[in-house]
């Protein structure tokens, strides 16, 4: 089971690393906008909305990527001053609170996505930007946020299971932390 969880983490990280090329695309279309606006006096109507959408998607997935790679911000200096058993308990509390947070975030993302795709009368209609080009980017962004929250909850459950799986070894004193290769 631990190997499966590590494989899932590595897959999420690889997808994130691959998706980071989207930032290069954002730079390219922003450069295109600068050239058309300032050299040809012909600004575009789509660049700002598109770059905001793509960067937003990348930032949302970046949270999933950081959680899978265990690269999120953590101040562990107090936790690390204790022995393995107390650290395990602190981590257990942390994993529990993270799962609660992910469930609440998922509920909020679902409500937001539902409202972005379903009208109050029950008809399907994607929320649009209301700008001149009226893209469905708001609905797509909210839908992607919901999908990422589902992924975060799934990862949170897997990380919780992994933490519970090492409990016996930690409390027996036989636990040796495994290096998590491939995630750096």
pLDDT of residue 184: 45
Q: What ranges do the domains of the chain cover?
A: 2-172
Distances (CA, A) of 168 to 2, 31, 83, 175: 14, 56, 15, 8
CA distance 152 to 144: 12
pLDDT of residue 178: 67
Predicted model pTM: 0.85
pLDDT in tens, 4-33: 988 998 999 999 999 999 999 999 999 999
Radius of gyration of the chain (CA): 21
The answer to whether 30 and 37 are in contact (CB under 8 A) is no
Name the region of 134 (left: φ>0; alpha: ψ -120 to 50; beta: rest). Answer: left
pLDDT of residue 182: 47
């Amino acid at each position: 089971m631990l190997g499966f969880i590590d494989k899932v983490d590595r897959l999420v990280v690889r997808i994130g690393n691959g998706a980071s090329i989207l930032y290069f695309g954002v730079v390219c279309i922003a450069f295109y906008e600068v050239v058309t606006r300032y050299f040809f006096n012909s600004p575009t109507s789509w660049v700002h909305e598109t770059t905001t959408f793509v960067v937003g998607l990348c930032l949302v997935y970046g949270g999933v990527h950081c959680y899978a790679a265990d690269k999120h911000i953590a101040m562990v200096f107090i936790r690390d001053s204790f022995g393995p058993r107390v650290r395990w308990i602190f981590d257990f509390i942390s994993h529990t609170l993270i799962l609660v947070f992910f469930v609440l975030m998922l509920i909020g993302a679902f409500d937001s996505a539902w409202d972005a795709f379903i009208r109050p009368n029950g008809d399907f209609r994607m929320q649009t930007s209301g700008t001149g080009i009226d893209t469905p980017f708001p609905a797509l962004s909210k839908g992607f946020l919901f999908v990422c929250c589902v992924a975060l909850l799934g990862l949170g459950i897997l990380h919780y299971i992994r933490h519970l799986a090492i409990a016996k070894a930690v409390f027996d004193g036989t636990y040796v932390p495994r290096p998590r290769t491939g995630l750096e």
